[in-house]
Amino acid sequence: MKTIDQLLAEGVAGKRVFVRADLNVPLDGTAITDDGRIRAVLPTVAKLAEAGARVVVASHLGRPKGAPDPAFSLAPAAARLGELLGTEVAFAADTVGDSARAVVAGLADGQVAVIENLRFNPGETSKDDAERAAFADQLASLADLYVGDGFGAVHRKHASVYDLPARLPHAAGYLIAGEVGVLKKLTEDAKRPYAVVLGGAKVSDKLGVIDHLLEKADRILIGGGMAYTFLKAQGHEVGASLLQEDQIPVVREYLERAGKKGVEFVLPVDVLVAAAFPDLKTKAPAHPTAVAVDAIPAGQMGLDIGPESRKLYASKLADTATVFWNGPMGVFEHPDYAEGTKAVAQALVDSPAFTVVGGGDSAAAVRTLGFDENAFGHISTGGGASLEYLEGKTLPGLAALED
């Protein structure tokens, strides 16, 4: 895989460089609530601009239906990128139309432009190879070189991620190179004890990574909504908590395999329960109750790990050498259910281990809860991509960057 430094050494001055970034930032109307992904691509964009390239930044945002939708415009992200770069960033109102062609043609050496949301064109996400290829051809006409730096999208077989690199000389940006380096540490050279913390809503989203990590990890700590399927598999009643009944046989099999392999599975010993899901808009007090996992009342749902579980999880992370964390321990968006996620984050901060926060909601939680990002070894920009890499899958966007 060619690096951006190799590309720069060959010379990029005066050349149009297409940077596939991940500017898929959360928005409240047109206000960006977390600019972490924009900051993550800054080193690549800034270095190319400094070297005299004419930089064309492209990304998706949200899930529009293959047609323009103002709610998913990249205009706010383009404006924020300009603020962070300290220079004006041009914005094209379409992806490959008149506006994009004009904006790119108007770039001078060292200038940067952002084109509109790639998913406004159905060819970006099409499962039809010919339709995707046609869109990739149009994108290729905007550039001379390609730099892949949208790690959060490399697990997608999309036109700008998979098809476009085949049409242009290509290299990996600083973000992707860094992400892959970290993930190789977790899969090929993890120092032990190696603990994995998994949370989030659905156990089905994490089955592949659990299966793969049973061969590599020393401890697996489970929280979030997915914990209740594990608790049910152990014979506990879980009330109205999130439950995937169809996954119970698989979960039981994983618990048995873990026992045979000497992998320690750590599940909550107590949880916070309430009769209803909290109001995340008003953040009205929810008044949850802490109960042992064998005493969850019928009709009540578990929404965070409890105080004893927080202590337990912190103790299980204290002596580790490597930790990978993906998924919150509860509904961290509400202050009454944020303490479990906060406890795990604090345990990673306090640990001498090499700590990796695996993107998605975990990365958002770290920032939302006020932690210093530099206190962690690495915060990934791609939750789904990180998990699929750890599952041992071939990621289309990374495969496309190989020479």
pLDDT in tens, the chain (403 residues): 999 999 999 999 999 999 999 999 999 999 998 898 999 999 999 999 999 999 999 999 999 989 999 999 999 999 999 999 999 999 999 999 999 999 999 999 999 999 999 999 999 999 999 999 999 999 999 999 999 999 999 999 999 999 999 999 999 999 999 999 999 999 888 999 999 999 998 888 899 899 999 989 999 999 999 999 999 999 999 999 999 999 999 999 999 999 999 999 999 999 999 999 999 999 999 999 999 999 999 999 999 999 999 999 999 999 999 999 999 999 999 999 999 999 999 999 999 999 999 877 888 899 889 999 899 999 998 888 999 999 889 999 999 999 7
User: Choosing from 178, 223, 384, 397, which is the catalytic residue?
Assistant: 384
CB atoms under 10 Å from CB of 281, counted, come to 7
Which residue in the list 225, 340, 360, 382 is annotated as catalytic? 360
Beta-ladder partners of 379: 357
Residue 382: the pLDDT is 86
Q: Catalytic: 80? A: no
Q: What is the pLDDT of residue 403?
A: 74
383 counts as catalytic: no
Largest CA distance in the chain: 68
Note the pTM of the prediction, 2 decimals.
Answer: 0.89
* Residue 38 CB burial class (10 angstroms; 0-12, 13-18, ≥19): buried
Catalytic residue, chosen from 16, 20, 37, 47, is: 37
Neighbours of 213 (CB within 10 A): 24
- The active-site residue, picked from 101, 202, 367, 393, is 202
* Residue 264 CB neighbour total at 10 angstroms: 15
State both tokens at 354.
Answer: 């090499």
Which has the closest alpha carbon to 342: 323, 365, 319, 364?
365
- 120 close to 67: Cβ distance less than 8 angstroms: yes
Which has the closest alpha carbon to 381: 179, 181, 155? 179
Rounded Cα gap, residues 149 and 22, in angstroms: 7
User: Do 57 and 115 contact (CB within 8 A), yes or no?
Assistant: yes
Element (H, E) at 145: strand 145-148
Q: What is the DSSP letter of 3?
A: B
360 is catalytic: yes
Q: How many CA atoms lie within 13 A of 216 on its CB side?
A: 22
Q: Clarify whether 235 is annotated catalytic.
A: no
Backbone angles phi and psi of 201, in degrees to 5: -75, -55
What is the structure's pLDDT at 277? Answer: 95
Supply the pLDDT for residue 205: 87
Report how far residue 55's alpha carbon sits from residue 61's, in angstroms, rounded to the nearest whole number: 19
| 395: phi then psi, degrees, rounded to nearest 5 | -95, 120
